[in-house]
A and B are shown apart, each in its own frame.
Chain A
Amino acid sequence: MRPLRRPRVRHRGLLAAAVAVALGAAVPATSQAAPSARLEVALVPEQLGRDTTIEFGFRIQGPHGTVPPPVTKIALSYPAGFGIVTSGLGLQSCRETSLEEVGVEGCPSQSLMGYGTATGDIQIGPEVIEESGATAVFMAPFQNGNIALQFYLNAEDPLAAQLIFPGLLLPARAPFGGDLTITVPLIESFPDGPDVALVRLRSTIGPLGITYYDRIHGKFVPYHPNGILLPRRCPRGGFPFAAAFTFAAGAETTAHAAVPCPRRMASRGSARAR
């Protein structure tokens, strides 16, 4: 997947750093040792047999807290029995061309499946510049029999960039029900500069904070879509999640998390990485 636009450098600090690089300032190479990742997942609300929103987030670190190499692929495994297709989410699909040409507004409301934020680090000399952006997840047309998603990133500062990361829901081995596999392109910070390293992502997949619009008798009627249906039974040890990260340098790392089974009358479950 290619970037929609070449990122434009806006930040003065980044410009200065870029000049420093051009002048031959020492830039420590990104560490080749295996980075580590931490996964956090929550189900909001967590009631068995009812619909929910998956809130997931991860944080990636290089060795000793350094900037990790850029991620090229993320595979988020979700538990068996989670009804993504049986939910009311993604009743329409958004084409990549619509996202590219118009942005989020170019997609039908009923294709939105979640949203969040992403943060990337750019190491320039001793300085680490943080880049943040908003993300949105859209249903895409099925691809070769697989459910496809589009992750849209709109970064504003210090780099302005709009990117689309394609995702696929692929079959997974038990205890997982599927793998949400996201291909992440290399994001160049500035010409001949280092690539932006994704270090944090928080996103939802579910109806939380989402409004759909149905066209009835020529009028757009808002409604709240049904969420991801949870199974009626919770497996021993809770609902398992895992995230596998592949980095540009070839390294791989995996993080696990489990959302504890809900207690009676519990309405929110969350998990931290183990």
Chain B
Amino acid sequence: MRLGVRNKCRELDRARQSRRSCGRAATRRCLTAVAPIGYCSLLALAVIPGVASGGIPLARAARALNATDTAHLHRVSNSGEEILEVGRATGTLPGSVRAYINVGATVIVHFTIDTAAGAISGAGSGRLKGRAAEPSFAGRMTVRHGTGRYAHAHGEGGFYGTLDRRTYALVVQTTGTLSY
């Protein structure tokens, strides 16, 4: 029965495309159902991911990583004050990088790093300083989501970048803590 409920929950999750855990969805269903309370409790417990056959939940250890990366990017296209840049990141999380940079009164960066184990996406914003031809910007960034091993990635840190306004070449250094 447990296996059946679990599959049902997976279907529910797929259908809703939500971040709610399988257990929560099932619990909500139970509370609105006419089924006896005892059955509901069993159902909710059974569908918690990582629950052992003995009913003892197994905690999945969240991993944390202090990451420092440097990305060298070049322009693919630009429109208005937005530039699409791609390139490579080296450091703790090496991979290919795709970034949308909005260079207005504030610099806003939306990035995705594709690593061998999955992708990490986030955003940051900073203010311009330095030389007019090659301004630098620094600020805070937040990792919001990911895929693969980094499906539950979240974290924050700082970033520093320079933009060559003649060639649109961008160098960004990031440092921060990533949990996944």
Interface residues of A (CB under 8 A from B): 49, 80-86, 88, 90-93, 110-111, 139, 141-142, 144-147, 169-172, 177-179, 229-232
Contacts and interface: CB of A to CB of B under 8 A. Distances in A.
Contacts of A80: 104
Nearest to A110: B133
A57 B100 CA distance: 33
A260 to B, nearest CB: 18
B78 A83 contact: yes
Nearest to B127: A145
Interface string B83-105: 10000000000000000000111
A92 B132 contact: yes
Contacts of B103: 83, 85-86
A105 B83 CA distance: 33
Contact of B105 (A90, A111, A178, A231): A178
Contact of A82 (B81, B126, B133): B81
Contacts of B79: 49, 81, 83, 229, 231-232
B4 interface: no
Contact of B128 (A81, A88, A147): A147
A186 B25 CA distance: 67
Contacts of B132: 90-93, 111, 139, 141-142
Contacts of B127: 144-146
Contacts of B81: 81-86, 177, 229, 231
Contacts of A232: 79-80
Contacts of A231: 79-82
